[in-house]
């Protein structure tokens, strides 16, 4: 007797195909990508087994861009064209990066207060473009692991990233050809990874100290709901600053001038980072600085000395912790646990000071470098539709208040900071002059009272207001913040129904035309990129073929080949070697196949000779008896 499978009308019994999704942690010093397999989130590695991708991009003249480990050497050899820590410049105007610009070798190019570009041999590159290169490499890694192009990604951003910085991240993803399911705050992503892994309900603090940014978030986790109660931080403070403090001490102790070249600055920073990492495990370490002009300095640096240098910077992170607790209305006694996120939390002094502040031992159960990407991968898997039965809900918040300019240069807050998103808020305004038919709307972000102390996001006008006595018009301005923390604003005059709308695009972000142009370029050069990849694969194949032939000739060439045969093989190898240096992929492939044909007889003789030598002194029955034993 057979069983009938019964389903609701219109419902399919076949399981929908699993869609490819990934979580990306776009970091200041390192980035990584993760995905969910068999219900478990895991970070994906490159061909060499490295999970972390250095967030470094090197531009070269008329050559492909180098990203990650391949670009690291350029920080010393070619500092002007090797970009690192670009996350610090995302969505910032030139005036905001002045302090950082003084410490970096780059030549910044900007008009007014737009987002600065960095002059390189490949042209003027924006931080958004450099970030897109990093995202593209991570997406390729994930696509290779999952067997096809990604259907969607969740990209993490610091909780304290404002609208301009989030929009810049979104633009970078668009240029990289990625479908962004959501921009997720890094502490929230970490809480997802930790909460689902441990099932810990209660109020949690996520302390996230990365390479270039610091965030602290207070969250409540209960029955699958992650609710961010408050967030605070500093998007220009991180492990890079700890390295710089150690580097400045080294230069001062060595008595070297502070105007040393860019290559030497990179050397000192790299040495400082190595010392910081060593002192996380050791009580002291030797540092030896060698400058390009031959000057050498060496000394022992103890953990206690290092802690004195970096303590003021770490203590700066505690003020945002106090602010986040205050904004959340949470007492220290209510904190269930503190979760440590970001590679810089490996520094013992960070864990010590955080533990003292919160009066508890911080949790470091999950690798602090991976936890954000793992949480993003879990969220991506849900948003892409691979877990339709999931009831997990993320309630994030906006980090800074949003509002409008009013008379007297004041800011009227429409959406206060730490408001749960997505959110829509509206407020009514009116005219201040008789007969006024237009209204200029200035959108701001920040916590100060004067507009000069807050960030200007956008300006637009509402026209067509019917002429009335001042104060009679009713103008409703609506703010809408989506789940990614991106803002749109609309204005409507209620009596006549005229309205205006703007999708916030900060003046120092990329314009739609610029993003479209970059996307168009990526399509235009797609064929060229594929051809370059195929050529490189053929060149590697040629190298392997030539190396194998050279080794075989060295071992058996004199014994198994006559002079004419050796000359013929040598000539075929010379042809392949010449084509290897060129860029004709088809000719190179043909030369490889020709050499393989020419060497087939030699290969057969070597195999026969190997078998004869193995059988020498034995009877076939000896091997048969061994097989039957």
- HEC secondary structure over 82-124: EEECHHHHCCCCHHHHHHHHCCCCCCEECCCCCCCEEEECCEE
What size, in residues, is the chain? Answer: 629
- Tell me how crowded residue 201 is: count the other CB atoms within 10 A of its CB: 14
Q: Give burial (CB, 10 Å; 0-12/13-18/19+) of 249.
A: buried
Statement: residue 129 has pLDDT above 90: yes
Token pair of 439 as six digits? 């209204």
User: Which strands form 117-120's sheet, in the order they lie side by side?
Assistant: 108-109, 117-120, 123-125
Lowest mean pLDDT among 85-89, 266-270, 379-383, 537-541: 537-541
584-606 pLDDT, tens digit each? 888 999 999 998 898 888 888 88
Q: Could you tell me which residue, 436 or 508, shows the higher pLDDT?
A: 436
**Integer Cα distance of 38 and 312 in angstroms:** 45
25-43 pLDDT, tens digit each? 999 889 999 999 888 899 9
> What values do phi and psi take at 201, rounded to 5?
-90, 160
Q: Apex CA 26: angle with CA 505 and CA 97, to 5°? A: 55
Nearest to 405 by CA among 382, 369, 366, 439: 439
DSSP 429-459: E--SSTT--EEEEEEEESS-SBGGGSEEEEE
533-564 pLDDT, tens digit each? 577 778 878 888 898 888 888 888 888 888 88
Q: Could you tell me which residue, 145 or 94, shows the higher pLDDT?
A: 145
Percentage of residues of the chain with pLDDT beyond 90? 29
> What is the pLDDT, as a whole number, of residue 201?
73
**Integer Cα distance of 504 and 458 in angstroms:** 6
Arithmetic mean of pLDDT, 309-324: 93
Percentage of residues of the chain with pLDDT beyond 70? 85
Banded pLDDT at 228 (limits 50, 70, 90): confident
Write down the mean pLDDT value for the chain: 83
Q: Could you tell me which residue, 146 or 257, shows the higher pLDDT?
A: 146
- For tokens 């979104």, name the residue: 170
Token pair of 446 as six digits? 């920040």
- For tokens 């389903």, name the residue: 7
Statement: residue 225 has pLDDT above 80: no
Banded pLDDT at 528 (limits 50, 70, 90): low
Banded pLDDT at 517 (limits 50, 70, 90): low
DSSP 453-464: GSEEEEEEEEE-
Q: Which helix (H) or strand (E) holds 209?
A: strand 202-209
> What is the pLDDT, as a whole number, of residue 7?
42
Statement: residue 78 has pLDDT above 60: yes
Statement: residue 520 has pLDDT above 80: no
Statement: residue 8 has pLDDT above 70: no
377-404 pLDDT, tens digit each? 999 998 888 877 666 667 777 877 888 8
> What is the pLDDT, as a whole number, of residue 506?
53
> What is the pLDDT, as a whole number, of residue 367?
87
For the question of whether the overall pTM of this predicted structure is more than 0.85, the answer is: no
The answer to whether the CB of 338 falls within 8 A of the CB of 314 is no
CA–CA distance from 345 to each of 248, 321, 358, 368 (Å)? 21, 15, 15, 7
Q: Which helix (H) or strand (E) holds 75?
A: helix 74-77
Long-range contacts from 59-65, C-beta under 8 angstroms, 24+ separation: 59/83, 59/120, 59/121, 59/122, 59/123, 59/125, 60/121, 60/122, 61/121, 61/122, 64/529, 64/532, 65/122, 65/133
Q: Could you tell me which residue, 421 or 54, shows the higher pLDDT?
A: 54
> What is the pLDDT, as a whole number, of residue 1?
33
Banded pLDDT at 161 (limits 50, 70, 90): confident
Residues known to be catalytic: 25, 87, 186, 208
Banded pLDDT at 197 (limits 50, 70, 90): very low
């Amino acid at each position: 007797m057979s069983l009938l499978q019964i389903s609701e009308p219109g419902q399919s019994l076949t399981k929908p195909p699993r869609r490819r999704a990934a979580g990306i942690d776009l970091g200041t010093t390192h980035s990584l990508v993760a995905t969910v397999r068999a219900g478990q989130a895991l970070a994906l590695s490159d061909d060499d087994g490295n999970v972390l991708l250095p967030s470094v991009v090197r531009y070269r003249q008329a050559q492909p861009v180098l990203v990650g480990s391949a670009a690291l050497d350029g920080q010393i050899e070619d500092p002007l064209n090797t970009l690192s820590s670009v996350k610090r410049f995302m969505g910032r105007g030139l005036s905001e990066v002045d302090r950082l610009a003084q410490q970096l070798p780059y030549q910044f190019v900007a008009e007014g207060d737009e987002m600065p570009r960095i002059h390189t041999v490949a042209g003027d590159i924006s931080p958004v473009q450099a970030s897109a290169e990093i995202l593209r490499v991570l997406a390729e890694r994930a696509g290779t692991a999952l067997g096809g192009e990604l259907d969607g990604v969740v990209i993490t951003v610091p909780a304290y990233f404002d609208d301009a910085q989030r929009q810049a991240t979104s633009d970078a993803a668009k240029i990289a050809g990625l479908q962004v399911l959501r921009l997720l705050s890094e502490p929230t992503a970490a809480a997802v990874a930790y909460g689902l892994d441990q099932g810990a309900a209660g109020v949690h603090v996520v302390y996230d100290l990365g390479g270039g940014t610091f965030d602290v978030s207070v969250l409540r986790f209960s029955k699958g709901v992650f609710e961010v109660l408050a967030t605070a931080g500093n998007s220009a403070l991180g492990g890079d600053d700890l390295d710089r403090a150690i580097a400045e001490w080294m230069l001062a102790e060595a008595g070297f001038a502070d105007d040393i070249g860019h290559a030497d600055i990179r050397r000192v920073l790299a040495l400082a980072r190595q010392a910081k990492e060593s002192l996380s495990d050791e009580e002291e370490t030797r540092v030896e600085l060698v400058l390009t002009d031959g000057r050498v300095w060496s000394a022992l640096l103890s953990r206690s000395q290092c802690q004195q240098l970096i303590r003021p910077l770490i203590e700066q992170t505690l003020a945002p912790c106090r602010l986040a607790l205050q904004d959340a209305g949470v007492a220290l006694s209510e904190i269930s646990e503190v979760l440590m996120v970001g590679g810089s939390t490996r520094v013992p002094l960070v864990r010590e000071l955080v533990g003292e502040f919160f009066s508890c031992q911080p949790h470091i159960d999950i690798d602090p470098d991976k936890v954000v990407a793992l949480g993003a991968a879990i969220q991506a898997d849900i948003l892409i539709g691979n877990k339709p039965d999931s009831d997990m809900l993320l309630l994030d918040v906006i980090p800074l208040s949003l509002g409008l300019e009013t008379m007297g240069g004041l800011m009227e807050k429409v959406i206060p900071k730490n408001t749960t998103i997505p959110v829509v808020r509206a407020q009514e305004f009116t005219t201040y002059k008789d007969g006024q038919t237009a209204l200029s709307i200035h959108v701001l972000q920040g916590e100060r009272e004067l507009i000069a102390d807050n960030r200007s996001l956008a300006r637009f006008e509402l026209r067509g207001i019917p002429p009335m006595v001042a104060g009679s018009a009713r103008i409703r301005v609506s703010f809408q913040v989506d789940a990614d923390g991106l803002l749109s604003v609309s204005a409507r005059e209620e009596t006549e129904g005229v309205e205006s709308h703007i999708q916030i695009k900060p003046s120092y972000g990329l314009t739609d035309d610029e993003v479209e142009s970059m996307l168009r370029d990526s399509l235009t050069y797609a064929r060229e990129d594929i051809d370059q990849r195929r050529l490189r694969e053929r060149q590697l194949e040629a190298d392997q073929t030539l190396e194998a032939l050279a080794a075989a000739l060295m071992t058996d060439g004199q014994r198994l080949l006559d002079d004419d045969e050796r000359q013929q093989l040598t000539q075929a190898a010379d042809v392949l070697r010449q084509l290897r240096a060129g860029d004709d992929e088809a000719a190179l492939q043909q030369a490889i196949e020709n050499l393989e044909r020419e060497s087939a007889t030699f290969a057969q003789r070597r195999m026969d000779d190997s078998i004869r030598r193995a059988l020498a002194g034995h009877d076939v029955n000896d091997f048969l008896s061994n097989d039957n034993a």
